[in-house]
Amino acid sequence: MPVHWFEKLFKHRGILWLLFIVNLLGTIYGYIWYGNQMEFTAANYPLWLLPFVPDSPTASLFFTLALLLLLFPPKRFTGVTIKGIIEALAVVTSVKYGIWAVSIIIAGGYQGDVLTWKDWMLMGSHTGMAVEALLYAGFFSYRKMLPLALIWTLFNDVVDYSYGVYPWLPFVLEDNVIGVQYFTFALTLLSVAVAWLFRERSKLRITSGKRASS
């Protein structure tokens, strides 16, 4: 019964539309936030690196698209396949960059960076990214697409730290780039594992619920 209540609430179209709008606005704000770094990258690096700069907004974009596909589920095989890929990327990257941003802000504050209201706002919004991704993991069908999400996210990490287009760090962490790099790669692996675990747990919960009701 609690499972049914949970699913009914979070799959309600009103809730889905509300989250879609909130995430869409957050995504737009995120790309604006990265505007200076994207301009700097365009002026100093090859243009093909631009898509790898705004990591968190792109994660938010994946989740926004995943919500849209819950509202309007595709019926053809190609659409269902694309839906699975987007959902896998949505969960993995939202969990990863949600945790990453909060961790980097806290690490910067620990080393002396002065935290402002924007930092607290970012910690709140990025925590929300990770939480909502895990809440909806059970409603997504992405398990077979997790290897693709892993490959993409690791490739993004390689590009970020090979070409130096990783998100700008607080000044106090500029001498800790290697440590941040190792943390980022480890977080990718952790996020994929968590995405798989939450999906498997939801599948077992649904199966148990069906057995109990039969």
Q: What is the mean pLDDT of residues 68-96?
A: 96
Task: Indicate the domain borders of the chain.
Answer: 2-213
Residue 152 pLDDT: 97
DSSP string, 31-44: HHHTHHHHHHHHHH
Tell me how crowded residue 34 is: count the other CB atoms within 10 A of its CB. 20
Residue 6 pLDDT: 73
Tell me how crowded residue 169 is: count the other CB atoms within 10 A of its CB. 16
* Total-model pTM: 0.91
Yes or no: say if 164 and 101 are a contact pair by the CB < 8 Å rule. Answer: no
HSE, CB side, 13 Å, CA atoms: give it for residue 67. Answer: 23
Tell me how crowded residue 119 is: count the other CB atoms within 10 A of its CB. 18
pLDDT-derived band at 134 (thresholds 50, 70, 90) equals very high
Residue 116 pLDDT: 95
Q: What is the mean pLDDT of residues 37-66?
A: 97
CA distance 66 to 72: 10
The tokens describing 45, both together, are 């690096």
Residue 58 pLDDT: 97
Q: Examine the pLDDT at 120 and tell me if it is beyond 90.
A: yes
Query: What one-letter code names the amino acid at 65?
Result: L
Q: What is the mean pLDDT of residues 16-31?
A: 97
Q: Examine the pLDDT at 42 and tell me if it is beyond 50.
A: yes
Residue 214 pLDDT: 47
Tokens 């941003």, located at residue = 101
pLDDT-derived band at 5 (thresholds 50, 70, 90) equals confident
pLDDT digits (tens, 9 = 90+) for 193-210: 999 998 877 665 544 554
Yes or no: say if 155 and 58 are a contact pair by the CB < 8 Å rule. Answer: no
Q: What is the mean pLDDT of residues 97-103?
A: 97
Q: What angle do CA 90, 170, 111 make, to 5 degrees?
A: 115
Please provide the average confidence, as pLDDT, over all residues in the chain. Answer: 92
Query: What one-letter code names the amino acid at 150?
Result: L
pLDDT-derived band at 178 (thresholds 50, 70, 90) equals very high
Q: In Å, how far are 99, 121, 192 from 180, measured between CA atoms?
A: 13, 22, 18
Q: What is the mean pLDDT of residues 176-193?
A: 97
pLDDT-derived band at 212 (thresholds 50, 70, 90) equals very low
CA distance 210 to 167: 45
Q: Examine the pLDDT at 13 and tell me if it is beyond 90.
A: yes
Q: What are phi and psi of 88, to 5 degrees?
A: -60, -45
